[in-house]
Structure 1
Amino acid sequence: MLNIFSLANGRLFQEEIDGPEFVTASKPVWVDLELPTADEKDWVTRRFGLTIPADAVDDDLEESARFYEEDNGELHIRSDFLIDDDRTPRNVRVAFILHDNILFSIHGEDLPVFRLLRLRARRTPAMIEDAKDLLLKLYDADAEYSADALEGIYVSLEKVSAQVLKKEITDTDAAAVLAEIAREEDLNGRIRRNVMDTRRALSFMMRSRMLNAEQFEESRQILRDIDSLDSHTAFLFDKINFLMDATVGFININQNKIIKLFSVASVALLPPTLIASVYGMNFQAMPELQWRYGYPFAISLMVASIAGPFWYFRRKGWL
């Protein structure tokens, strides 16, 4: 999918195109390619003189190949953007190319951060002045999106805390809690990776001296926002570990209750077992052969030997 955006009166608007062969009269500020076809890549090459690398969105790129500048002045940046939806949270690789004051973005999925920026740029005048501003605003929106995802983790963990700490949970409830904790831990780790990647991209842009004074200060502000998110992710990791340990502890307690029940039962049944063994020897002088009430007496003695240990265990609080 090919999307082309231009600036008009300080606002970002999307140009209507009928296909890759469409030639725009104005010069765009942003060309966004989502799962681009070979025809769309060829059109970009013919229209803007830019060759899109074949490995633009590969996940196995070396770290040194993610940020670099070509001899002709093209700036290449590979960044990860977070997607937090009802499915599995994930980071999506996006390739940015700054060429002839136009920002080209190549990615494989529709990104919430991109939608958020397009919505804001259409409504807010003078928000974006050039392609570099656009790239900085994308990173700013990405940091804000990560912050919103962290707030969602806080809300989810509060519900988990109420379930774990304020009532006795069964093994079924504990399994559901562990699944929710694992999901939030995975999302928290992806957020931490996402903001780390954004920090690296901003640091590269600042070191390359491609930004003016205002853009440089904006980059520093975004970095400060990212630093504040790091403390939150660290706190959430600690909270997740605590809830995980507490849940596993309740599971162990439930299992120990079952083991304790079997232990108490086995100890309590030892005396009647002994009595039954003695009465089962069938010697000539045994009561059951010479006494009419021998068997009822033996059964009563066995019941009494069971009641005694159970009464003692209950008095000790072991039951």
Structure 2
Amino acid sequence: MFEYAAFRIFAGVARIIPFPVLRPLLMRIFMIAYDIGLLRRRVLETNLSVALGGAVPPARVREVARKCAAEHGRIVAELLWPERLIGNPGESIRVSGIENLRTAISAGRGVILLTAHLGNFILAAYQIARMGYPLTIVARRIRNPAIWDEIEKIYTRYGNAIIPIRSSRNDLRAGGKILKSLRRGDTLVLVNDQDAGPGGYKSLFLGVPSYIPSGPAHFAFRSGAVVVTGFVTRRDDKMDIDIQAPIDFTEAKTKGEAESLILDEYTRRLEAKVVEFPEFYFWFHKKWKSSPEVRGRYHG
């Protein structure tokens, strides 16, 4: 209950503060939290040292880490005041590639929109829904039921829906709901970049093996759904939503072949975005937790 009470108090106080004040304030608070050793600083710096390359000086790692911390403070502010940004594309948000989503939906086989913890993907889901394309977000349920209720409210704003899952593997009930939703022609959002353990699909990310959930490829192969990718970055203080062309996996004859075609291409597209915008990626999770090359560095 303490976590829930703290969440409610924070959200209530933050909503009193005007958005133009709250956004820079939270950006500054998150930077300070990083500076004093909070916000999983070792994980953040380890990930960035790998991502930016071993020859990058520590000062550059810290510079990008501070920008990353600030960006996630901004994301929190935006999620507390989404109405200040949603519904006015061109003013606060740019959307490119919406025709890719429209074409994928028109195929009538359901759509899997693969994204990542890059930029404010939740706010992007709001904007896409407001443009007439409601989404169903697949999200892992957390243990605290009160906090989970609040998360559900966040995900399902603006007409979006949610399918909760227990884990990235062996959740038969959630898997059935996902397949049913795809066969109904829905558009499902799967955030597929976090470590799935040694049993996940092995794909090179920034030259280092990462193990990501294989479920999206299995669902696409079984259902025939169209797979597109979409990522969120920011430029000139405007959020950029980029919905990319479908991933072609028509040559896949087996589930394993579908994994390779879909997940390697997804990783390649995500990598290109992260290389260009490293400060917008959520480096606070142990991206390479299952990779022996990096795992030990998370613990010093």
Scaled to the shorter chain, the TM-score interval is: under 0.3
TM-score between both structures, scaled by the size of structure 2: 0.27
Where relative contact order (Cα < 8 A, 6+ residues apart) is larger, the structure is: 2
TM-score between both structures, scaled by the size of structure 1: 0.26
| Bigger share in helix | 1
User: Which structure has the bigger radius of gyration?
Assistant: 1
